[in-house]
Amino acid sequence: MKSLTPHGEGFSFLDTFEITSASRRGRGTKWLDPKLSFFADHFPGKPMMPAVLLIECAAQTAGALWASKLGSTAPAHFVLAQVLQFKILRSVFPGEKIETAVTFENSLGKLAQFEVVLSVNNIEVARGRIVLGADADQVVI
């Protein structure tokens, strides 16, 4: 199966993606296979998804939205340039499916800001604002 992101299979946190509102909003999902390697050590006996990987889910979903917005002019990949704010509201566990809703807020040249909301079973688990960069070699904040 081809990844929806430029990441390798072991670091793709986006199984599905859809535009929900004219290039301004999108939604992605990721089912958390209990066999994912990070669950073995985070934490033994009580595995949960590392919070930083929730941010990665948000970044990858925002990247898919921005790429669809830019179309053929989109770069090969985007980078997470800044986490403006991010709040974890509850832990996420193996076997759960994360739904990530992203809203394009503002473009600043090679940077774009997104609002992100992550949910499991329609219960919000995290939210925040992130900035992606369109050129990994030239992003300076």
Which of 51, 53, 60 lies closest to 26 in space, CA to CA? 60
Helix (H) or strand (E) holding 40: helix 37-41
Residue pair 101/115 in contact (Cβ under 8 Å)? The answer is no
User: What are the tokens at 113?
Assistant: 């800001």
Strand partners, 106: 113
Active site residues: 42
Helix, coil or strand: residue 5: coil
Distance CA 26, CA 17 (A): 7
Peptide bond into 43 cis (omega under 30): yes
